[in-house]
Amino acid sequence: MNKNPKKQVFFMLAPIMALVFLIGLIPSCSRESVIPESGITEQEYDIPIKAKKWAFLLYDDAEFNGYDPLEDFADEACSNEYLNILVLQDTENSNPYIWYIDEDHQKQKLKQMKEVNMGDYQTLRDFLDYAKSKCAAERYILSFYDHGSGWEGACLDITSGSDQLLMDELQRALTDAGGVDMVCFSAPCLMGALESVYELRNCAEVYIGSEETSGYIWWWYTVGDICETLKQNPDITNLELAEIIIQSIYRNSFNWESFSNEDMTMSAVRTDKIEKVINALEALSIDLTNQIDQSYSLVNPVYPNVCSFGSGRFLDAYDLFEKCRDSTADAALQGKLDRVMQALADAVIAECHGSNMENAHGLTIYFPDTSKYAYKTTYGNPGYGLDFSAHTQWDEFLEAYFARSGTSAIQQKKDIPGPYIPDTDGFYPRRRPIK
């Protein structure tokens, strides 16, 4: 398949959507029922799909009146003898659809739906249940498209009061649906967060996301590489596939003449190693909190030099702890910092980053620059449902740190990053053990 680097990312979908609408009016062999409260007709089309080894599921939340990747996704992705591809698509000005992408890259309509809230647990749960029933598979990849905001979740639905899938909702939907093998946050920004990975630790073996703001552009050609890889090697392990995905994202990031990959990041994490990170971080957090004066004197000078993301809302966890270790003479504290760093290195399968992100290691941790952002008290609120804060004292450390600095921990209105089409300088496989 020829890959045109000048291919336009944004283009007018109105003629295509109009055609889809007209086709939907043509009588067909389908089951339909009118939804009385909305007047919208739901249709489920009788298209038999054979069970295969793999299913690739795209949760396409294009509800922000911006770019919808479906047409470009279908240009690159296709089902094959080992793989089925399903997409739940919801745009601002059209009914939601579930599509099947066939072996010829053609979209086949499986279901026309009434309006759904893409930021709600039930919508994700229903899609997973439908996909596992319609396209039963041994292994599943679930990819998300839309906005993201780290530990606060992803997939904003502006026609449903700007509702968003919280990490707790993502966890519940995936758990209740039986989980998947791999979770990929393609365009959602800032999802390469330690807190988010920990929330989904029991829902997937591999978690892929970006520490920095992101864009579907980095996944454009990679989805085709995923399909081809599964066709050539359907028995590939999840960890091997994850490394191939990161390699592909890095390699294809150079295919664009109009976009620089200098600020790009993407990482694949194995969730079975996250518990070790949490245990090491808990021991460190307790010490940092109990000795807050010394901790403040250690962290405050290094903070400005730590690799940050989201305009200062998140820090690269490894870089933070490495700089702290190099700045203290306390041997016991150095040991605790080393253990966290080693656990982080063990958890990252592979990562890639641009030249502006030299100290990106694959996972962020919440530590906002309070000259720009107030600390969000929901982070440590038990009612918010974030497992990371419930199982570590990192939130207690942050509150003590900001109190020591004279910063008031006042709730700030949540800011959602806009659509971002950012640009890597290198592919970085598993990191070597710390000496």
58-69 pLDDT, tens digit each: 999 997 757 899
> Which amino acid, residue 316?
D
CA atoms of 141 and 384, how far apart (whole Å): 27
Is pLDDT above 80 for 410?
A: no
pTM as predicted: 0.85
| pLDDT the model gives residue 231 | 98
Q: Residue 265: beta bridge partners?
A: 353
Is pLDDT above 60 for 368?
A: yes
pLDDT per residue over 310-360, tens digit each? 999 999 999 999 999 999 999 999 999 999 999 999 999 999 999 999 999
Tell me how crowded residue 154 is: count the other CB atoms within 10 A of its CB.
29
Q: With contact defined as beta carbons under 8 Å apart, do 95 and 114 qualify?
A: yes
Q: With contact defined as beta carbons under 8 Å apart, do 219 and 187 qualify?
A: yes
Sequence-separated (6 or more) residues with CB below 8 Å from residue 25: none
| pLDDT the model gives residue 428 | 31
Is pLDDT above 70 for 367?
A: yes
| pLDDT the model gives residue 408 | 53
Higher pLDDT, 129 or 93: 129
Region at 385 (left for phi over 0; alpha for psi -120 to 50; beta for the rest) = left
- Measure Cα distances from 356 to 79, 210, 310, 321 in Å: 37, 14, 14, 20
Label the pairing between strands 41-45 and 30-34.
Answer: antiparallel
Phi, psi for residue 148 in degrees, rounded to 5: -150, 155
Over residues 104-114, mean pLDDT: 96
Candidate ranges 24-28, 44-48, 210-214, 275-279; pick with highest mean pLDDT:
275-279
Region at 40 (left for phi over 0; alpha for psi -120 to 50; beta for the rest) = beta
Would you say domain 50-273 falls under CATH 3.40.50.11970? Answer: yes
Could you tell me the two tokens for 32? 């339909």
Region at 167 (left for phi over 0; alpha for psi -120 to 50; beta for the rest) = alpha
pLDDT per residue over 132-154, tens digit each? 999 999 999 999 999 999 999 99
Q: With contact defined as beta carbons under 8 Å apart, do 140 and 54 qualify?
A: yes
| pLDDT the model gives residue 321 | 99
In the chain, residues under CATH classification 3.40.50.11970 are 50-273
Burial class (CB in 10 A: 0-12, 13-18, 19+), 331: exposed
Length of the chain, please? 435
